[in-house]
């Protein structure tokens, strides 16, 4: 997989090369056009000078050499002129025996003597009643050489600029990802607590999601640990009872009541099996749920109420949702379905006809109109570590619900609903 830095660098290289190549071409063309315009202006000036110096002697056109620049008198000097008056022609000595093309004035550049490339200017005037055509030209060797030198220097500067921009971009990207690298190192050493740091705005949502997932996984680990601890504790109690019964059998003489003791041992063993299966199932649920999908307070809760209505179709409870505002805390979808499923199942099982769900920013309540619990039982329900499975309404389900709530740093409280049943409140602490 390519790194983000490589992708950015390749994209930047492509953009810079395209930009500087276009700029190089436009600048070179502009400089060449300006230089040629200056050269044509100079040729036009020379043509006007030649036109003013042109005279007639005995009806023949004449151009005194001293009236022109010395470049026109040196062979193949790169500066040329030709004056045509009717059938008469006056040529600069620099042209020597070279004959310019008749259509050279119509092209931007024209071939010249000795393989030279010429820039040509033509002037048509009427003087002394005669049509006069003046052709001036100058070779482009010096011009092309100067433009070539400029292009080479501009290319070097462009390459240096591209390199500097790329280096600056690489350093900027490296510095921009420095907080992310630090967060990864800190996460490996200290866990999710190290994610509370300032990161680039583009990365912050990603890190927040990672923090949420890490927190969820930590809660799963806590649930598994509590499940294992509860399993060991309850098995120890049952094993002690079995040991006591077996000791009693060993110490007694064979008698009819031995059969009673054996039945008690069998019952204890069955309890032990039930406890193991119950806690292993709970542990499997905690470990199998995949983290990542948040609970949708509207859709998922609506699906959950429809499921309960199908389950208790013979009873026909009315489930009312008082949706003031959605809670401002996030739960994993499966955890929330398990938590609220337990509470709704308990409410629907014990209600006489109605269940009310209340949603607010910091609290969710579920209440029924069933028999509820006594004041003493509700006090015991609120105690941390209480054996909730021994009570009438709720049983083991409320114990699991409280463990789930505590794994999200939420509190579960119990009270009597206005209709007389049990009211369960889940608050985000």
Please check whether residue 80 is in contact with residue 92, taking contact to mean a CB–CB distance below 8 angstroms: yes
Q: Sorting pLDDT into bands at 50, 70 and 90, what band is 318?
A: very high
Question: Which residues, in sequence order, are CB contacts of 108 under 8 Å at separation 6+?
Answer: 36, 119
Using the predicted structure, report yes or no on whether residue 227 has a pLDDT greater than 80: no
Q: Which helix (H) or strand (E) holds 304?
A: helix 299-311
Instruction: Report d(CA 156, CA 253) in Å as an integer.
Output: 109
List the single range of 52-56, 100-104, 230-234, 253-257 with lowest mean pLDDT: 253-257
Mean pLDDT of 387-404: 60
pTM for this model (two decimals): 0.45
Please write down the long-range contacts of 320-323, taking CB distance under 8 Å and 24 or more positions apart. Answer: 320/354, 320/355, 320/356, 320/357, 321/357, 321/359, 322/356, 322/357, 322/358, 322/359, 323/298, 323/359
Instruction: Report d(CA 58, CA 388) in Å as an integer.
Output: 137
Using the predicted structure, report yes or no on whether residue 372 has a pLDDT greater than 60: yes
Q: Higher model confidence: residue 115 or residue 268?
A: 115
Mean pLDDT (the chain) is: 79
Using the predicted structure, report yes or no on whether residue 253 has a pLDDT greater than 60: no
Using the predicted structure, report yes or no on whether residue 417 has a pLDDT greater than 70: yes
Q: Higher model confidence: residue 143 or residue 221?
A: 143
List the single range of 4-18, 192-206, 334-348, 412-426 with lowest mean pLDDT: 192-206
Using the predicted structure, report yes or no on whether residue 355 has a pLDDT greater than 90: yes
Query: 3-class DSSP state for residue 410?
Result: strand
Mean pLDDT of 378-400: 57
Mean pLDDT of 9-23: 87
List the single range of 26-35, 53-62, 192-201, 340-349 with lowest mean pLDDT: 192-201
Using the predicted structure, report yes or no on whether residue 381 has a pLDDT greater than 60: yes
Using alpha carbons only, what angle is made at residue 418 by residues 414 and 422, rounded to the nearest 5 degrees? 30
Mean pLDDT of 390-409: 67
The dihedrals phi and psi of 129, each to the nearest 5 degrees, come to 75, 10
Q: Sorting pLDDT into bands at 50, 70 and 90, what band is 425?
A: very high
Nearest residue to 297 via CA among 354, 254, 358, 342: 358
Q: Higher model confidence: residue 238 or residue 77?
A: 77
Residue 9: its pLDDT value, please? 79
In words, the CATH class of domain 299-428 is alpha beta
- Crossing angle (nearest 10°) for helices 178-190 and 204-251: 10
Mean pLDDT of 205-231: 71
Q: Sorting pLDDT into bands at 50, 70 and 90, what band is 217?
A: confident
Question: Which residues, in sequence order, are CB contacts of 37 under 8 Å at separation 6+?
Answer: none
Mean pLDDT of 110-121: 87
Residue 424: its pLDDT value, please? 92
Residue 207: its pLDDT value, please? 73
Using the predicted structure, report yes or no on whether residue 319 has a pLDDT greater than 90: yes
Q: Higher model confidence: residue 312 or residue 196?
A: 312
Residue 426: its pLDDT value, please? 92
Residue 400: its pLDDT value, please? 76
C-alpha 242: how far from chain center: 61
Which of 2-11, 169-178, 248-257, 306-315 has the highest mean predicted lDDT (pLDDT)? 306-315
The CATH classification number of 4-145 equals 3.30.450
**354-359 and 318-323 as β-strands: parallel, antiparallel, unpaired?**
parallel
Q: In the chain, what percentage of residues exceed pLDDT 90?
A: 9
Using the predicted structure, report yes or no on whether residue 223 has a pLDDT greater than 70: no
């Amino acid at each position: 997989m390519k790194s983000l830095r490589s992708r950015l660098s390749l994209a930047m290289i492509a953009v810079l090369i395209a930009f500087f190549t276009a700029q190089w071409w436009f600048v070179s063309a502009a400089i060449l056009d300006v230089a040629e315009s200056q050269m044509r202006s100079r040729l036009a000036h020379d043509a006007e000078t030649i036109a003013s110096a042109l005279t007639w002697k005995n009806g023949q056109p004449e151009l005194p050499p001293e009236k022109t620049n010395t470049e026109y008198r040196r062979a193949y000097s790169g500066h040329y002129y030709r004056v045509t008056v009717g059938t008469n022609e006056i040529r600069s000595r620099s042209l020597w025996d070279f004959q310019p093309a008749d259509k050279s004035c119509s092209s931007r550049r024209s071939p010249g003597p000795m393989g030279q490339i010429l820039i040509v200017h033509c002037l048509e005037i009427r003087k002394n009643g005669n049509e006069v055509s003046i052709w001036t030209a100058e070779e482009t060797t010096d011009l092309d050489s100067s433009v070539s030198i400029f292009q080479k220097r501009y290319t070097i500067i462009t390459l240096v600029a591209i390199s500097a921009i790329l280096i600056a971009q690489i350093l900027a990207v490296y510095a921009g990802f420095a907080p992310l690298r630090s967060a990864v190192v800190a996460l490996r050493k200290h866990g999710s607590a190290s994610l509370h740091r300032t990161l680039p705005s583009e990365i912050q949502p990603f890190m927040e999601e990672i923090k949420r997932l890490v927190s969820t996984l930590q809660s799963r680990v806590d649930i598994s640990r509590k499940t294992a601890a509860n399993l060991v504790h309850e098995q120890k109690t049952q094993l002690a009872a079995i040991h006591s019964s077996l000791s009693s059998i060993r110490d007694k003489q064979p008698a009819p009541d031995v059969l009673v003791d054996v039945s008690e041992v069998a019952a204890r063993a069955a309890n032990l099996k039930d406890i193991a299966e119950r806690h292993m199932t709970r542990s499997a649920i905690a470990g199998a749920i995949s983290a990542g999908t948040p609970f949708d307070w509207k859709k998922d809760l609506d699906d959950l109420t429809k499921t309960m209505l199908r389950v208790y179709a013979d009873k026909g409870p009315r489930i009312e949702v008082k949706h003031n505002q959605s809670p401002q805390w996030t739960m994993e979808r499966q955890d929330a379905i398990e938590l609220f499923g337990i509470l709704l199942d308990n409410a629907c099982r014990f209600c006489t006809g109605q269940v009310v769900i209340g949603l607010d920013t910091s609290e969710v309540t579920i209440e029924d109109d069933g028999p509820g619990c006594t004041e003493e039982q509700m006090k015991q329900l609120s105690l941390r570590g209480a054996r909730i499975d021994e009570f009438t309404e709720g049983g083991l389900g409320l114990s699991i619900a409280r463990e789930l709530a505590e794994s999200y740093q939420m509190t579960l409280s119990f009270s009597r609903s206005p209709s007389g049943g049990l009211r369960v409140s889940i608050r985000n602490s």
